[in-house]
Structure 1
Amino acid sequence: MLKGLGGLGDMAKMMKAAQEMQTKMGEMQEELAAITVTGEAGAGLVKATATAKGELTALEIDESIFVPSEKEVAEDLILAAIKDAQMKAAERSQAEMAKLTEGLGLPADMKLPF
């Protein structure tokens, strides 16, 4: 169909592929918002739940850590649980993006979104 136009046929294919990628990226963002991960600290005394996009959605704290003299320990456990959840969210997000890039024939180490 576009043979006589040189590289324009390839350009049309690239544009179509880019549109497909944009659509799939939008779908992936929605999926990441629905996936949850849980980070823990203090052998499960503090649990933080986040979406794969990194949004903190819940915090569960065992009441045994509420000892006034242990305030700093409780704060450290809370921060550790949140950081653990965020790390797991980032890992899950990267894993989901890797699936997307693989399906599109892109290099596995390509970072998306750009």
Structure 2
Amino acid sequence: MASPERSPSRVKPDMNKMLKQAQKMQADMARVQEELKDEMVEASAGGGAVLVAMSGDFRVLSVKIDPAAAEDVEMLQDLTAAAVNEAIRAAQQLADRKMSAITGAFGGMPGLM
């Protein structure tokens, strides 16, 4: 029978290993944040009347508007807001997907999750 000091629930985590894993994760997250600056998502509203391109770090890169949409200013404002909001959602999903590939390993660090 195993002694209480050696039972799996009492194993102390290797702090040096955990620190190295955390440092690697921090470096990987910084790398992904840099990569996101070069990623692009697009979103549209009004059947393509407004098209917004946004970087993975939430910078609006371009807004394209169908000239026919300019006839109704209120509708154009609504479509622009909708396209920007959709682009933000898409950029957030992209960032979440890339970061979860890194932080998903965090759950494997004993004693932290």
TM-score by length of 2: 0.78
Number of aligned residue pairs: give it.
97
C-alpha distance 35-27 of structure 1, shift in aligned 2 (>3 A): same
* RMSD, aligned α-carbons: 1.8
1:2-26 alpha-carbon deviations (Å, 9 max, x no partner): xxxxx99811111111111111011
Matched, 1:106 2:106: yes
Question: Structure 1 vs Structure 2: percent identity of aligned residues?
Answer: 31
Correspondence for 2:29? 25
- Residue 101 (structure 1) shift: 2.2
Structure 1, gaps ≥5 residues long? 1-6, 108-114
Matched, 1:77 2:79: yes
Matched, 1:66 2:70: yes
Q: What is the identity, as a one-letter code, of the residue corresponding to 2:55? A: T
TM-score by length of 1: 0.77
Runs of 4+ residues deviating >3 angstroms: none
Which residues in structure 2 correspond to 1:50-61 (within 5 Å)? 50-61=54-65
Q: Which of 91, 94, 104 is the equivalent residue of 1:92? A: 94
Structure 2, gaps ≥5 residues long? 1-10, 108-113
In the aligned structure 1, how far is the partner of 2:83 from the partner of 2:13? 52
In the aligned structure 1, how far is the partner of 2:66 from the partner of 2:95? 28
